[in-house]
Amino acid sequence: MSITAPAGFTAAGVAAGLKLTGAKDVALVANQGPTFDSATVFTANRCQANPILWSKEVVKDGTVRAVVINSGGANCYTGAEGFQTTHATAERVAEHLGIGAIDVVVCSTGLIGMLNDRDDLLAGVDAAAAGLSPDGGTDAAEAIMTTDSVSKQVVVEGAGWSIGGMAKGAGMLAPQLATMLVVLTTDAVVPAADLDTALRAATRVSFDRLDSDGCMSTNDTVTLMASGASGITPSLEDFTAALTQACTDLAMQLLKDAEGADHEIAITTLNAATEDEAVEVSRSVARSNLFKAAVFGNDPNWGRVLASIGTTDATFDPADLDVAINGVWVCKQSTPHADPATVDLKPREVSVTIDLKSGSERATVWTNDLTHAYVHENSAYSS
Amino acid sequence: MSITAPAGFTAAGVAAGLKLTGAKDVALVANQGPTFDSATVFTANRCQANPILWSKEVVKDGTVRAVVINSGGANCYTGAEGFQTTHATAERVAEHLGIGAIDVVVCSTGLIGMLNDRDDLLAGVDAAAAGLSPDGGTDAAEAIMTTDSVSKQVVVEGAGWSIGGMAKGAGMLAPQLATMLVVLTTDAVVPAADLDTALRAATRVSFDRLDSDGCMSTNDTVTLMASGASGITPSLEDFTAALTQACTDLAMQLLKDAEGADHEIAITTLNAATEDEAVEVSRSVARSNLFKAAVFGNDPNWGRVLASIGTTDATFDPADLDVAINGVWVCKQSTPHADPATVDLKPREVSVTIDLKSGSERATVWTNDLTHAYVHENSAYSS
C-alpha cells in the first residue's frame, strides 16, 4: 500500500523498457485532492540533474498534483535535450490528468551522463496514467528501484489520518540526501507552509543524518503531498512526529540496503556543546574509510574514532574523550579502558558512542562499513 | 644515503624488538652542526599523539639537534605514561649526544592506543646512538617503515649544498599530512625563520596535496634540520625550490606505495578563481569513494567527478564544466563529449583534468583508487 494508504492518492508502476532487465521503471503518483498542498526538499549538490532544475520551479507555489519518476537513467548532465525530456514528461502526465504541467514533479534515477529514450519514457507515462489505482503503491515503489535489493515502503497511522511513503536508494547516501528519491503522502489537511516546516524538521534528523559513503548525489528529491481527503487537521506537532517516524523508518530501510554493506553503524555523540557539533563529530567518524574498513574486519578500532573526532572544530578536550563500541567503553579519557576483545562486532548492527563532556546536546549519524562488496559494486556499476 | 647525504649529519637504524617481526624499528638522526637551525610542521589533527605534544615544545625556539623515531607503536592515546615514555626517549638521546632533551624531536608510528615497551625502546636508543654514522641514512629510512613496502629517500643537489630526506607512510594520507613522518636535512646555511618559510611553502604544494584516503593522522611530523656544514648560504628562492623538489619527490613515493592501491590519480583543476578553490575542487574528487572505486574498475566515470565538484563552494557554472580523463575530454559544458570507451585506464597513472572556466588559478591533488586490497589491509591491520 505505502503511498496509496492515505485516502486521495492513486499510483502505478510500469515497465517502459528504460531498464535493460525489463523490470518496472516508470512510477506515477497522483493526488486526487481535495487539497494539493505540498513540500519538497532537494539535494544540496550544485551540479543538479534536469529533473531537479524542472521540479524546483514546480514546487515554488506549494502545489503539487503528481509525481512521476523513472529509473533506468538519471537524466543528469544531459544538457538541453535532457531538460526537454523532463519537460515533455511533465506535459504528458498533465495531459492525462487534466492538470497543468507546472504542478508535476519529475524525478529520475539511474546512470548519469546518459539520455533516456524519450519515446519509451513517454509511452511508459501513458501506461502508468492508464493504470493509476488506489492499490498501485507497491508497483510504484518497485518501479523506482535501481540497485536496491528490496522496495522501501512505510505507513504511519495518525488519529483518522495517515502518512504513506516510498523510497529508493542504495548508496551515494550522504548529507542533504543521496541518490535517494522519496515520495510521501498524507490525507491529513495541512497547509503547504506547515508541510514545509514538518518536512524540514523530519528530514533534518533522518535522511540528512544518513551518510552511507560520503557521496552526495545530483538527483535527490523528497516530495510530500497532502490530499486533505481525511478532512482532519492534526496539530503540527502530531503531524511532524508522525512524519519524522515515517522518514526515519525509510532512512533505516535505505541504510540496511546500502550497496555491499555488512554492518549498519549508528554513531551517537553525547554531551556536545551544540546539536550541530554532535552531528559534525558523528559525521566525521561516518566518513572515515579507515574506521569503516575496521568495522568490516570486526575490529573495534577506537583509535580511528578519536583520529576522526580530532579533524573537527567541535568543543572538546582531546585528552578527555570517552568512546564505547557496542556498549563497551573501550576508551576513557582518551586512553585505553575496557579490553577491545570483549566487543562483539559480528552482529550487523553496530553502535559507537562518543562522550564529548562539553554540553548536553546529542545526535546520531548512520553509516555502513566499507567492504569488498562496496568496492566491487561501485567499480563495476557503469561498465 | 638520503638524510646523511648533506654534510654534518649522522644516522642509524636498529632493531629494538618493538616490531614483532624483528625488523629495524628505532631510527636516530643527529645534526653535528655547526648550525642547528630547524623548522617543523605537524598534523592539524586536534587529537595528537604524545610525541607531537612533546615535539611541539622542542621546535619552538627553532633549534633541533636530533630526531629519534620509533616504528612499532604510535604512542597515541596512551595518556601520561605514554608521554613519560616520549620524554624518557628524548632524555636518553640527549645523554648520548651531550645535548639538551629539549632539542630532541621524537616521532612514533604504528598502532595507536598501545603503549610501547619503554625498556626496549630505550635500549634501541642506546644501540642507535652507538651506531650513528655518516652512512646510516638507509638504515634509518628502513627503521621508520610500517606498512610501507619500500623505504622512501631523496637527495636534491644545490650549488655546493644539498638536501636529503626520508619518509614513511602508506595510508591515512590526508590533508595537513598523514601517518607520515618525514625528516629533511641540509648542509646549507639557512636561519630558522627562512627554513620555516621554505618548509611551509614546500609542504603546501606537496604533502598537503596528497589525499590517499581522506583520513588525517595523529602523528604526522615533517622536520627539517640545517647543519650549515657546507658553509654556503643559498638564496631563499633557490633553497625553497630545491626543498619543494625534495618534498614532491617524497610525496610521490608515498603515493605510489599507498596501501592496496592499483592507480595513482592526479586531479588537476584549471582556470579556478583562486588557488584555494582549485585545491577544494580537486580534493572533493579525491575524496569520492564512488569515483575512486570507478577508477579501480577502469571506468572513466566523469559523472561522479561532476557530482563531487557540485559539493564545493567554488566559483563555477554547473552547466559549463569540462572534464578530461587521461587527456580525453569526456565531458564538455557538463554534457557528454568524447566517447568514454576511448579512455584507457589500465596504466597505473591516471590524470583527471577539470576546467572551471572561472579564472586562471590551478592546483593538483593526488589520490589513489579504492580497491579490494585497501579494504583488506585496513580491515585486518590491527587484528
How much is the pLDDT for B370? 87
- Unique residue bearing C-alpha cell 587527456: B327
* SS3 (DSSP) at B371: coil
Contact present, A227 and A187 (Cβ < 8 Å) = yes
Closest CB from A48, A215, A333 relative to B289: A215
Q: Kindly report the CA angle at B89 between B88 and B93, in degrees rounded to 5?
A: 115
> For B217-258, how does the pLDDT look when each residue is reduced to its tens digit (9 = 90+)?
788 899 999 999 999 999 999 999 999 999 999 999 988 888
* SS3 (DSSP) at B169: coil
> For B80-102, how does the pLDDT look when each residue is reduced to its tens digit (9 = 90+)?
999 999 999 999 999 999 999 99
CB contact (8 A) between residue B293 and residue A318: no
Per CB-CB distance under 8 Å, the chain A contacts of B213 are: 289-290
Per CB-CB distance under 8 Å, the chain A contacts of B45 are: 307, 310-311
Per CB-CB distance under 8 Å, the chain A contacts of B53 are: none
CB contact (8 A) between residue A48 and residue B310: yes
Closest CB from A78, A217, A307 relative to B217: A307
How much is the pLDDT for B179? 65
Plot region of A231 (φ>0 → left; ψ -120 to 50 → alpha; else → beta): left
**Band of the pLDDT at A232, cuts 50, 70, 90?**
very high
Closest CB from B46, B217, B333 relative to A318: B46
| B179 counts as catalytic | yes
* SS3 (DSSP) at B295: helix
B73: its cell numbers: 607503536
Euclidean distance between CA atoms A95 and A83, whole angstroms = 19
Q: Is the pLDDT of residue B382 over 80?
A: no
Instruction: Give mean pLDDT, residues B292-296.
Output: 90
* SS3 (DSSP) at B255: helix
How much is the pLDDT for B176? 36
**Band of the pLDDT at B164, cuts 50, 70, 90?**
very high
Domains and CATH numbers, chain A: 2-256 (3.60.70.12), 264-380 (3.10.20.340)
Average pLDDT, chain A: 91
- The ipTM (two decimal places) reads 0.82
Contact present, A365 and A267 (Cβ < 8 Å) = yes
CB contact (8 A) between residue A335 and residue B375: no
B284: its cell numbers: 572533493
Per CB-CB distance under 8 Å, the chain B contacts of A284 are: none
CB-hemisphere CA count at 13 Å for B343? 27
A133 labelled binding-site residue: no
Euclidean distance between CA atoms B13 and A179, whole angstroms = 51
Quick count: other Cβ atoms within 10 Å of Cβ A96?
16
Per CB-CB distance under 8 Å, the chain B contacts of A321 are: 47
Q: Which residue of B45, B77, B172, B320 is the best one to mutate when testing the A interface, meaning the one whose CB has the most A CBs within 10 A?
A: B77
> For A94-114, how does the pLDDT look when each residue is reduced to its tens digit (9 = 90+)?
999 999 999 999 999 988 888
Quick count: other Cβ atoms within 10 Å of Cβ A341?
9
- Give residues with Cβ within 8 angstroms of A292, minimum separation 6: A265, A286, A367, A368, A369, A370
A150: its cell numbers: 528490496
How much is the pLDDT for B377? 76
CB contact (8 A) between residue A378 and residue B290: yes
How much is the pLDDT for A261? 86
Closest CB from A77, A331, A383 relative to B303: A77
Distance between first and last Cα of chain B:
35
Identify the burial level of B66 via C-beta atoms within 10 angstroms of its C-beta, where 0-12 means exposed, 13-18 middle and 19 or more buried. Answer: buried
How much is the pLDDT for B290? 84
CB contact (8 A) between residue B318 and residue A47: yes
The DSSP secondary structure of A244-292, one letter per residue, reads: HHHHHHHHHHHHHT-TT-S-EEEEEEEEESSHHHHHHHHHHHHT-HHHH
- Give residues with Cβ within 8 angstroms of B146, minimum separation 6: B71, B72, B109, B110, B168, B170, B179
Per CB-CB distance under 8 Å, the chain B contacts of A333 are: 79
A49: its cell numbers: 540533474
**Band of the pLDDT at B174, cuts 50, 70, 90?**
very low
How much is the pLDDT for A112? 81
> For A56-81, how does the pLDDT look when each residue is reduced to its tens digit (9 = 90+)?
999 999 999 999 999 988 898 889 99
Amino acid letter, residue A147: T
- Give residues with Cβ within 8 angstroms of A231, minimum separation 6: A189
* SS3 (DSSP) at B142: helix
Residue among B114, B140, B99 nearest B9 (CA): B140
Q: Is the pLDDT of residue B178 over 60?
A: no
Q: Which residue of A46, A333, A339, A350 is the best one to mutate when testing the B interface, meaning the one whose CB has the most B CBs within 10 A?
A: A46
- Unique residue bearing C-alpha cell 525489463: A22
How much is the pLDDT for A287? 86
> For B351-362, how does the pLDDT look when each residue is reduced to its tens digit (9 = 90+)?
999 999 999 999
Out of A40, A78, A86, A179, pick the active-site residue: A179
- Give residues with Cβ within 8 angstroms of A232, minimum separation 6: A158, A159, A160, A161, A187, A188, A189
How much is the pLDDT for A175? 36
Q: Which residue of B281, B296, B311, B369 is the best one to mutate when testing the A interface, meaning the one whose CB has the most A CBs within 10 A?
A: B311
- Unique residue bearing C-alpha cell 567554488: B314
Closest CB from B290, B370, B379 relative to A294: B379
Per CB-CB distance under 8 Å, the chain B contacts of A78 are: 335-336
**Band of the pLDDT at A171, cuts 50, 70, 90?**
low
B339: its cell numbers: 566517447
> For B111-124, how does the pLDDT look when each residue is reduced to its tens digit (9 = 90+)?
888 888 999 999 99
How much is the pLDDT for A56? 96
Instruction: Give mean pLDDT, residues A45-64.
Output: 93
How much is the pLDDT for A178? 44
A371 labelled binding-site residue: no
Least reliable range by pLDDT among A98-102, A264-268, B299-303, B372-376: B372-376
CA B330 and chain centroid, separation: 32
Q: Identify the closest residue of chain B to A370 by CA–CA distance.
A: B375
How much is the pLDDT for A256? 87
> For B191-213, how does the pLDDT look when each residue is reduced to its tens digit (9 = 90+)?
999 999 999 999 998 988 887 67
CB contact (8 A) between residue A374 and residue B374: no
Question: How many CB pairs (< 8 A) connect A and B?
Answer: 200
CB contact (8 A) between residue A47 and residue B321: yes
Q: Which residue of B277, B299, B375 is the best one to mutate when testing the A interface, meaning the one whose CB has the most A CBs within 10 A?
A: B375
How much is the pLDDT for B177? 36
> For A114-140, how does the pLDDT look when each residue is reduced to its tens digit (9 = 90+)?
888 999 999 999 999 999 999 999 999
Strand ordering across the sheet containing B328-332: B335-336, B328-332, B322-325, B349-355, B264-272, B361-368
Residue among B161, B87, B177 nearest B125 (CA): B87
B364: its cell numbers: 593538483
Euclidean distance between CA atoms A376 and A147, whole angstroms = 13
Contact present, B65 and B37 (Cβ < 8 Å) = no
How much is the pLDDT for B273? 98
> For B11-28, how does the pLDDT look when each residue is reduced to its tens digit (9 = 90+)?
999 999 999 899 999 999
**Band of the pLDDT at A383, cuts 50, 70, 90?**
very low
The DSSP secondary structure of A159-218, one letter per residue, reads: SS-EEEEEEE-SS-B-SS-BS-EEEEEE-S---HHHHHHHHHHHHHTTGGGB-SSSPPPS
Q: Where are the alpha helices (DSSP H) in A260-371?
A: 275-286, 289-296, 302-309
A7: its cell numbers: 485516502
B31 φ/ψ angles, rounded to the nearest 5 degrees:
-90, 120
Q: Please, what's the b/e burial string for A211-228 (b: 16 or more CB within 10 A of its CB; e: otherwise)?
A: bbbbbbbbbbbbbbbbbb
Contact present, A21 and A76 (Cβ < 8 Å) = no
Instruction: Give mean pLDDT, residues A307-325.
Output: 93
CB contact (8 A) between residue A303 and residue B213: no
